[in-house]
Structure 1
């Protein structure tokens, strides 16, 4: 019995050593990299776009590897269909039913498929993955639900906190999408800085090429866009602070209108009341459900892009504006300076007069417009897709 017990102990120690020493240097190539694809396979905005763009660029830049996208179901849509038509991107649906699949049962599929890495693209990874041979990475976009809890339902806030904190503690590596998010992870979750890698996001490549004049004319006519306008893009919710842009509009030249693109929430009623109070109904245009293919053109025809959000994890719309050659005015207090760079203008998210002054400063100076466009475009190259993709692959290979 003693000899048998010693043998079992030795085997256990051997297995533990094997798992602790397992690293990508010991792996055979090509790699099989698995992703939490719930949003990539079902969402047409936000995290869906982020997920597809990230995987597509990896698959294009590093075609020698296999990219397995795990999702409980898949939505039929042009963007999603095109995504899964790529040769080395493969959709993986549950083999044994969707119940608790993303949280636990997915581990069976990952092992059967021979995945060496699993990347949770939005705040969570499967439970117990740390007890397998699979290396794990989790992307944390923001911890806004802890910094601004008033914007979230109690149960949602607790669930987000549990999932993200657990993932941060269990993952082999954490990808933060900004230095501000990294600071929040360290401060709020007590995670070692050495475990966190800041890898910025880029935006869709369609924002990086100027549209032809005929295309811009079509877009302008389709959406009845004015000759001169200030642009704001983002969900119309309290945190995004559209009310400040409305208040600033009152102090701008009446030749300029405000064009707003975004999904409306209950906060929209607050914005409507402010518009009525200030008598600005004829100077504001709300657009929604805009085809993604037309969005870059709307950016490119804007005079100024405004983003007065109280708090963001990064600020992709700012990147889109800079690539589109549009001067940016954004709010202080989170990470928007990281996205906009030193040559964009920044104001307090509580200062409507400051926002109006910054916009007027740009509108009244063609020279400043020229400098902001040129320097903004130069700055935004640090978010180039090829560079960001290389940083992510380097992160995988460092595991």
Structure 2
């Protein structure tokens, strides 16, 4: 089978959509090496260079032209004889020729519909139009959670039979053991305290770091934050940290292997986002055997399982109580971390690869 992918995010994104795209292609090539996987994009970059080293993965530069991703990528795949085209980030090309090809699109979330206040009017309209067109054009839609499936049905008016829920996993760095020397080097490089709670994700209103900071008022618990800063919201968070003398560090320039070590060193991972399509950081923490505090909303209980600790993300006093409970109870942290590690095995590479290939084979038959 020859499978083509819209590879823009593989080479352009360092976080969510990029990680999903790179991991999906990587695990397919590993567990189903007999297929050909073609990454189609205008350009490549260092971000996706690792998977291009695999013999069954190749890159095709999109044909030149205005809006080539929208109008040339699909026909490029058809002319190459691809059996399937998979749009990895909610979009499919707008133009196709008469050659047969099956179309799959992954939709990660519809946050722009649920929380329009986080988007401009024009961005919401463009996102909705693109997602709606892709949903109509696709032979099958992959939703990355039951929550996203429900939103696709509700907002895009898609029949349930057209949607398959296939969860995503995380980078293999979070599943590997790291030697003591590397762990020590990471701790020294970032001047990490002996004990801390960790937050990972873009520093923006939806991720709700401000309520974590409020929850830490009056405590001496160190907070480590790894994530891209959105200037306006970051300044709001920083002001609250300074006013209340919160012990907080913001780390930048963290590699994936270093991040994996930081997860393992943390006593608690905290992720009280208001809404997520899935929440990969929760999975990363569980694979790292670190107990998770996350929101009782959206898909986060799907990702966290029964032994993570859930909070009302709007209530900083609830967040504070759950932090203190775990911070002061080592045996409870370990018990929940061990149970969480058992639960997260369902998000391992092999079952995800099998589900993806079953879907591809289903639409081809």
TM-score range, shorter chain: over 0.9
Q: CA deviation at 1:106?
A: 2.1
The 5-angstrom pairing of residues 51-62 of structure 1 reads 51-62=21-32
User: Counterparts of 2:259 and 2:304 in 1: how far apart (Å)?
Assistant: 19
Deviations 1:96-119 (A, max 9, x none): x14222212223311220001000
Does residue 102 of the first structure (1) align with residue 69 of the second (2)?
yes
Larger Rg: 1
Contact in 2 for aligned 1:305/1:328 (Cα 8 Å) = yes
What residue is the counterpart of 2:50 in the other structure?
Answer: 82
What residue is the counterpart of 1:237 in the other structure?
Answer: 204
When structure 1 is superposed on structure 2, of 187-196 and 356-365 the one drifting more is 356-365
Distance verdict in 2 for CA 1:361–1:131, change over 3 Å: farther
The 5-angstrom pairing of residues 221-370 of structure 1 reads 221-252=188-219, 254=220, 256-265=221-230, 266-280=232-246, 283-370=247-334
Q: Secondary structure at the match of 2:197?
A: strand
Contact in 2 for aligned 1:175/1:199 (Cα 8 Å) = yes
User: Counterparts of 1:111 and 1:141 in 2: how far apart (Å)?
Assistant: 25
- 1:217 pairs, out of 176, 180, 184, with 184
Deviations 1:12-67 (A, max 9, x none): xxxxxxxxxxxxxxxxxxx1100000111232322112111110110111010000
Q: CA deviation at 1:122?
A: 0.3
Q: CA deviation at 1:187?
A: 0.8
- 1:140 pairs, out of 87, 102, 107, with 107
Q: Secondary structure at the match of 2:336?
A: helix
RMSD of equivalent CA atoms = 1.3
Contact in 2 for aligned 1:210/1:324 (Cα 8 Å) = no
Runs of at least 4 residues off by over 3 Å: 128-132
Does residue 92 of the first structure (1) align with residue 92 of the second (2)?
no
When structure 1 is superposed on structure 2, of 315-324 and 358-367 the one drifting more is 358-367
Contact in 2 for aligned 1:94/1:101 (Cα 8 Å) = yes
Contact in 2 for aligned 1:52/1:83 (Cα 8 Å) = yes
User: Counterparts of 1:130 and 1:330 in 2: how far apart (Å)?
Assistant: 46
Aligned length: 362
Contact in 2 for aligned 1:177/1:201 (Cα 8 Å) = yes
What residue is the counterpart of 1:73 in the other structure?
Answer: 43
Q: CA deviation at 1:130?
A: 9.2
User: Counterparts of 1:54 and 1:39 in 2: how far apart (Å)?
Assistant: 12
Does residue 173 of the first structure (1) align with residue 140 of the second (2)?
yes
Return the TM-score normalized by structure 1: 0.88
Contact in 2 for aligned 1:329/1:345 (Cα 8 Å) = yes
User: Counterparts of 1:358 and 1:320 in 2: how far apart (Å)?
Assistant: 20
User: Counterparts of 1:235 and 1:130 in 2: how far apart (Å)?
Assistant: 40
| Structure 1 stretches lacking a partner, 5+ long | 1-30
Q: Secondary structure at the match of 1:197?
A: strand
What residue is the counterpart of 1:151 in the other structure?
Answer: 118
Contact in 2 for aligned 1:130/1:170 (Cα 8 Å) = no
Deviations 1:66-116 (A, max 9, x none): 0000001122x2x42222111010000023x14222212223311220001
Distance verdict in 2 for CA 1:217–1:152, change over 3 Å: same
Contact in 1 for aligned 2:108/2:278 (Cα 8 Å) = yes
Q: CA deviation at 1:330?
A: 0.3
- 1:41 pairs, out of 11, 16, 37, with 11
User: Counterparts of 1:89 and 1:337 in 2: how far apart (Å)?
Assistant: 35
When structure 1 is superposed on structure 2, of 103-112 and 53-62 the one drifting more is 103-112
Return the TM-score normalized by structure 2: 0.96
User: Counterparts of 2:289 and 2:314 in 1: how far apart (Å)?
Assistant: 27
User: Counterparts of 1:94 and 1:276 in 2: how far apart (Å)?
Assistant: 49
Q: Secondary structure at the match of 1:39?
A: helix
| Structure 2 stretches lacking a partner, 5+ long | none
